[in-house]
Structure 1
Amino acid sequence: MHIGIIGAGAAAVALLDALALSDDKPSGVTVFDGAPALWRGRPYQPDLDTVRVNAPPPIMSIRAGDPGHYQRWLADRDVTGYLDEGLGQPLVPRAVYGEYLEDTARDAIARLGHAGCPVRVERSAVTGFSRDGRAVLHTAAGDHVPVDRAVLAVGSGGPRDHYGLTGAPGYIDEPYPLAGTAAGLPSHHHVAVIGSGLTAVDIAVTLAAHGHTGPITLLSRTGQLPFVQQRPVRLDPLHLTPAAVRAAAEHSDVPFAHLVSLMRSELAELGQDFDALAAEITGSEDPVARLRRQLGAVDAPHHGRRLLAMVIRTVGPTAWPLLAERDREMLRTGYFRTINGLSSPMVPHNARIVLRLLDSGQLRLRSGVTKIEARSGGGFTVHDARNWSADTVFNAVNPPAYTTPAQAQPLIGSLLAVGAAESHPAGGVRAESGTRRLLVGGMPDATWHVLGNLAADSMFIATNPPGLAAEAAGLVRSLFGE
């Protein structure tokens, strides 16, 4: 069995590592990607040291079932300068994490080669697909490569230009790597950042660290900042677990209210109050006051946010496809920002810098933007409660869930055209839970599988490395009929 992997980011690394660890091996693997930096994807390419990993090492392993894999890799490196005092953990630059992914990929490729499974890397995107006895992948370079199984591991793509500013001088649609986009920016410029999530925080922190003196304004519909991450505490859920969710789905969909009741039971077991957690995550507190309060609560003994952040990642992938569609729609449309903020909170190191910038007045937070216009003489006019000017605009809005990356659109179009894939009304492609096989008319395709958020049964938040690793391990079991 020859496997084609479309994409060479973190999902591909997880899959190669899972294949290398499997007792069964394919006859060969071909990886396709035209990106300049293999194995890093969009988030972990070479960049400035201020662009750091947003999670502590124990929850960043790319190897399934081995949470210490990344920590052991870090042990051979000097990371003392990157300690986040609030978390008590090193948070290295994302470029360093990219080195970890590169090393893991190289090691997996070597182990597969020694086991008689050569891995070849085609530095070209896959743009089409046909069948000729076997599946045939067509590349942008004009090659036709036959495979027995193919895996979409294409990531989530870049931001969307909501205000039609592409091509305007001073507009930066893709902020990463900030080593390029922030370099040479006049220090006095008024910088407007579309969005107020983690990417916007990266931009503000980087500008401040490199001597920017002009105002920085974060623009968002809600005017909210990410939650602040708390110091990790070991928690072992007894009620809200994947097994409990699967048991609840034995005869019907799992109501979201049942998940809420399990969360209540977890907090009751800890002697803590669910209503306090609900007020924390749904309240309309002033964002700067909330930031200040949450920074002061990094070591707080109430575990509600810690527990909820953990189960979103560990139980969420199991629970999501088992929820009734009305509950999934409610969570997607009404609570996207809250769930995303809980599962990917701001680290205390960055939160302190953001608060300092806010207190000094250099950083501003504005909501209610209706329009941004590029002026013919340069610069931009931002329309909210008043009209004001900015010199430079960064786009820090992440793409919606299930967005097909631009480079993968020709291939997905080809799959849809020949009936090898089917779109989901919420976005992405339909996939069979567990096997990750593409579904067409409710039936799994014999060739195609998918990893990550292009699968419509995945959650609407970006899959973290351990989540990708777990998906990849399950996919390998499916490939070999386990």
Structure 2
Amino acid sequence: MATNPSEAEGAAVEIGIIGGGAAAVALLDTLSRLDAAPGGLTVFEATPLLWRGRPYQPDLPAVRVNAPPESMSVRADDPRHYAGWLRDRADLAEHHDPGLDQPIVPRAVFGEYLEHTARAASTRLRHAGWRVNVVNARVTGYSRADAVLHTDQGGRHRVDRAVLCVGGGYPADHYGLSGAPGFVLEPYPLARTLTDIPADRHVAVIGSGLTAVDVAVGLAATGHTGPISLLSRSGMLPPVQQRPVPLQLRHLTRDRVLALAGELTLDRLVELIRAELRDLGQDFDSFVEEITETGHSADWLRRQLAAVDSPHLGRRLLTLAIRVAGPTAWRLLPERDRTLLRESWFRAFSGLSSPMVPGNARTLLRLLDSGQLRLVPGVTKIEPGQPGFHITDTRSRWRADHVVNAVNPAPFATPQQASALVSALLVDGRAELDQAGGLCAEPLTGRLTSAGVPDPTWHVLGNLAATSLPIATNPFGLAVASEGVARSLVAPRD
């Protein structure tokens, strides 16, 4: 039985993609390579950041991607797609990271890759007979009766299938500092937010993860001479990425994980990791010790840099597995195992999936050794002062001139720009919130579910899906998830 009149009459399927960032690019590329009957496709993006999203807009050259090219492809069946695009750039040698012996380019360059991929995919779709349009408006609602998307500009767009590709949104103001002179809630682009800070002022950065690293490195690149303090509860820095070596997963593969659907558990995943390490002649206990080591000092960072060429392959292996098989495994694990990973292993897996590149680590170490940078754990309160800010940690109360937020949105947070639409879907019963956060969805198709029943129209791809990894979504992970979503979008409905 068809789900709407157009499908009943055999008309072309109309697809709406809400959001125009990296998830939408991966989905467009996948759709463009499917052998499917052509229809209509409309991308809705209200911001000027079409295809780039928040992370990959033009910015300081010092703001780099956090992974080598082979980990950044938006094409799941071609991990070297991005590396191939990058190879012919005249400025590639300028971005060589000697620690990784790989090009680590500014994020804006990766944004160019996303734009190129989206344009190429749109061209292929049009050549195949698809109608492809981009609407610069925010989708705010949906009419079930006539299958129409409503935009904030009064537009009405009929769709048969729709996908939420809205990303992770923007940071929250955890300390209520918005409006205070000298406070920066959204740090990106750093080229805009850091230029108004006088070079000799004390800058406190909320967070000590990758965004905080970007801010510290960005300040150093702009010639900042004043103190920099990274504030957090733990004071832990991300681990440093190790030099890639050729590794081929033999046990912990996507196909093996898919074959275990319905039987996959965390214990089975550990068995597969043990098997991978055994084949490499590596010790499992040493591997566990290595991935659980955390640190918050210059000496720890020095040890991490010294281990860039470590002969032990466990961290590299797990990082590869998280990127290649992680998104699929997460969607298939039982909830009890996902809860255990979220509560006990979140920091370790988040750091392994997105470690900082050695170039940034060397800059941080230089700043730490000089005394310009310090790590401040145990922060409990940040208050506006007259002027500046008063900061309280477990040891003292002190003052900073400027505060830059570097805490990313929480996993599964609904972006503000999508809140009206998501609320409408929840009220209408087309969507349901998972108890752990995010929208409930079928693991392999991304179709929204309510009370376990898949919706005939709505899908979700990326951070908003309860089935997505609760860590920063990497482009390759989006590419993997986009395959099932794309096939569901063009499949006939019974």
Normalising by the smaller structure, the TM-score range is over 0.9
Q: What CA distance in whole angstroms lies between the structure 1 residues aligned with 2:465 and 2:171?
A: 19
Q: 2:89 aligns with which of 71, 77, 80?
A: 77
Shift in Å at residue 298 of structure 1? 0.8
1:284 is displaced (CA, Å) by 5.2
The alignment status of 1:61 with 2:73, answered yes or no, reads yes
Opposite residue 98 of structure 2, the aligned amino acid is: E
1:190 corresponding residue in structure 2:
202
Does the Cα contact within 8 Å between 1:7 and 1:153 map onto a contact in 2?
A: yes
Per-residue deviation, residues 78-109 of structure 1 (Å, max 9, x unmatched): 21100001111111111111111111111111
User: 2-side partners of 1:287 and 1:442: how far apart?
Assistant: 47
Q: Take 1:186 and 1:398, find their aligned partners in 2: how far apart are those partners?
A: 25
Counterpart-to-counterpart distance in 1, 2:368 and 2:380? 23
Corresponding residue SS for 2:157:
strand
Cross-structure match for 1:100: 113
Asked if residue 141 in structure 1 is aligned to residue 148 in structure 2, the reply is no
Aligned mate of 1:419, from 421, 429, 434: 429
1:349-394 deviation line (CA, Å, top 9, x unaligned): 101000011000000001000000001x220000001000011111
1:206 alignment counterpart: 218
The corresponding residue for 1:438 is 448
Q: 1:89 to 1:283 in 2, by over 3 A?
A: closer
Report if the CA contact (8 A) 2:237-2:296 is conserved. no
Measured against aligned partners, the alpha-carbon deviations of 1:180-238 in whole angstroms (never above 9, x if no partner) come to 00012100110000100110001001101111000000011111100100111121222
Q: Which range moved further: 107-116 or 1-10?
A: 107-116
Q: Show structure 1 runs of 4+ deviating over 6 A.
A: none
Partners of 1:175 and 1:285 in 2: CA distance: 25
**Any unmatched runs of 5+ in structure 1?**
none
Specify the code of the residue in structure 1 equivalent to 2:487: R
- 1:351 aligned onto 2:361: yes
Whole-Å separation in 2 of the counterparts to 1:62 and 1:43 = 15
1:23 aligned partner: 35
The question of 1:42 aligning with 2:54 is answered yes
Q: Are residues 1:281 and 2:282 paired? A: no
Letter in 2 for 1:51: V
Letter in 1 for 2:202: H
Cα separation, partners in 2 of 1:265 and 1:63, compared to 1, 3 Å: closer
Matches within 5 A, 1:267-278: 267-278=277-288
1:421 to partner: Cα distance: 0.7
**What's 1:473 paired with?**
483
- How far apart, in 2, do the equivalents of 1:242 and 1:70 lie? 20
Find 1:365's aligned residue among 350, 375, 378: 375
CA distance in structure 2 between the aligned counterparts of 1:149 and 1:207, rounded to whole angstroms = 45
Whole-Å separation in 2 of the counterparts to 1:402 and 1:95: 25
* Corresponding residue for residue 174 of structure 1: 186
Change (3 A) 1:175 1:286: closer
Residue-by-residue CA offset, 1:238-283 (whole Å, 9 max, x unaligned): 2323344344454x4x332332232222212211111112112223
In structure 2, the partner of 1:242 is 254
**Which AA in structure 2 matches 1:331?**
L
- Given the superposition, is the C-alpha separation of residues 77 and 285 from structure 1 closer, same or farther in structure 2, using an over 3 Å criterion? closer
Per-residue CA distance 1:402-443 (angstroms, 9 max, x = gap) = 111110000000111111111111111000011110001101
Gaps of 5+ in 2: 1-12
Task: Tell me the distance in 2 between the aligned counterparts of 1:43 and 1:50.
Answer: 13
TM-score by length of 1: 0.96
Counterpart check, 1:315 vs 2:325: yes
Q: Assess if the C-alpha contact under 8 Å between 1:3 and 1:26 holds in 2.
A: no
Change in Cα spacing, 1:209 to 1:198, as seen in structure 2 (3 Å) is same
- Seen in structure 2, the aligned counterparts of structure 1 residues 388 and 479 have a Cα distance that, compared at 3 Å, is same
1:327-406 equivalences in 2 (<5 Å) = 327-375=337-385, 377-384=386-393, 385-406=395-416
Flag the 1:54–1:245 CA change in 2: closer, same or farther, 3 A.
same
Query: Aligned residue for 1:122?
Result: 135
**2:230 matched to 1:218?**
yes
Q: 2:379 is paired with a residue of what secondary structure?
A: coil
Judge which range, 97-106 or 363-372, deviates more. Answer: 97-106
Q: Does the CA contact (< 8 Å) of 1:159 and 1:399 recur in 2? A: yes
Secondary structure at the residue paired with 1:245? helix
Q: Secondary structure at 1:121's aligned position in 2?
A: strand
* Percent identity over paired residues: 61
Question: SS state of the match for residue 15, structure 1?
Answer: helix
Partner secondary structure for residue 49 of structure 2: coil
| Contact preservation (8 Å) 1:2, 1:26 | no
Distance 1:259 1:112 in 2: 38
TM-score, normalisation: structure 2: 0.94
**For the Cα contact (< 8 Å) 1:19–1:25, is it kept in 2?**
no
CA distance in 1, matches of 2:271, 2:75: 32
